[in-house]
């Protein structure tokens, strides 16, 4: 049990990679607060997975909702040991065709959302003198990606914030890291054309897309005591897409 007696918040926990992480963390003994704006799916998960899971219907891009959720998690489970900033969206278009609305929406959720959740959770971790913060970047944030001006900007920003927070919070006993997944088989990539997915698979050394569990395992490692001397790191989990 690598997360025994730990309390974790997993944003975007009702779908894709986040849901795989909820199940993985539970298996390792954690109590998990599933934070998602998909109320129907979130409530179903909480009902299916039992008393060590609580669902909070929250849009991470709304600061007041986030602050309220953090207080509710502390009231429900007593503390917060782990924050996984996993919620994210895509609204793809090439630079010239990208609308201001699509640009802003992705910034609000993928960037502001990570900032709001981390800023709201950090005081609790500082007070207890320990904590693990893991945020989900992307290979798009590391290398850029065709049609993803907005998304790549937010995922690169996560790397900058991760390193900044690692510097600020290290002395408080808090580890801050990012995971940069490659193309992973979830509802998010189902929106991509099959031809593009085939190409992405073709350029990985391992010749396959990632599974949600591959990314959940990386979250688990960084959340566990085994990663206690790792901070400010960006762990690429991408099947060797570029080296």
Judged by the rule CB under 6 A, the positions of this chain that interact with ligand NAI are 11-12, 14-18, 36-38, 58-61, 86-89, 109, 113, 136, 138, 181, 183-184, 186-189
In the complex, the smallest distance separating the C-beta of residue 43 from ligand NAI, rounded to whole angstroms, is 13
Task: Determine the Cα–Cα distance for residues 136 and 123; give it in Å rounded to an integer.
Answer: 21
In the complex, the smallest distance separating the C-beta of residue 4 from ligand NAI, rounded to whole angstroms, is 26
Angle between helix axes 63-77 and 113-128 (nearest 10 degrees) is: 30
In the complex, the smallest distance separating the C-beta of residue 183 from ligand NAI, rounded to whole angstroms, is 4
| Residue (37 or 77) nearer to ligand NAI, CB | 37
Exposed/middle/buried for residue 94 (C-beta within 10 Å: 0-12, 13-18, 19+): exposed
| Residue (10 or 169) nearer to ligand NAI, CB | 10
Task: Yes or no: say if 32 and 22 are a contact pair by the CB < 8 Å rule.
Answer: yes
In the complex, the smallest distance separating the C-beta of residue 209 from ligand NAI, rounded to whole angstroms, is 7
Tell me if residue 37 is catalytic. no
**Separation of CA 182 from chain center:** 13
Instruction: Please tell me whether residue 197 adopts helix, strand or coil conformation.
Output: helix
Marked catalytic residue, from 115, 151, 219, 229: 151
- For residue 146, what are its two tokens? 């065709």
- The residue written with tokens 């799916």 in the block is 41
| Residue (126 or 188) nearer to ligand NAI, CB | 188
| Residue (32 or 58) nearer to ligand NAI, CB | 58
Catalytic center residues? 151
């Amino acid at each position: 049990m690598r997360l025994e007696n730990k309390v974790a918040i997993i944003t975007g926990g009702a779908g894709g990679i986040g849901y795989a992480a909820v199940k993985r963390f539970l298996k390792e003994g954690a109590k998990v607060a599933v934070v998602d704006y998909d109320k129907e799916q979130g409530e179903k998960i909480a009902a299916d997975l039992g008393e060590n899971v609580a669902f909070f219907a929250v849009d991470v891009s709304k600061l007041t909702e986030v602050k309220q959720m953090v207080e509710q998690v502390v009231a429900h489970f007593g503390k917060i040991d782990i924050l996984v900033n996993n919620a994210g969206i895509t609204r793809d278009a090439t630079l010239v065709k990208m609308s201001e609305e699509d640009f802003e929406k992705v910034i609000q959720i993928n960037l502001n959302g990570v900032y709001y959740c981390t800023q709201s959770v950090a005081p609790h971790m500082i007070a207890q003198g320990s904590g693990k913060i893991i945020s989900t970047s992307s290979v798009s944030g590391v290398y850029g990606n065709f049609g993803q001006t907005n998304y790549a900007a937010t995922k690169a920003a996560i790397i900058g914030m991760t390193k900044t927070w690692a510097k600020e919070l290290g002395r408080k006993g808090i580890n801050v890291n990012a995971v940069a997944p490659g193309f992973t088989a979830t509802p998010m990539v189902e929106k991509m054309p099959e031809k593009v997915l085939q190409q992405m698979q073709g350029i990985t050394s391992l010749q396959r897309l990632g599974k949600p569990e591959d990314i959940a395992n990386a979250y688990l490692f960084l959340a566990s005591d085994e990663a206690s001397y790792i901070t400010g790191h960006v762990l690429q989990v991408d099947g060797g897409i570029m080296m």
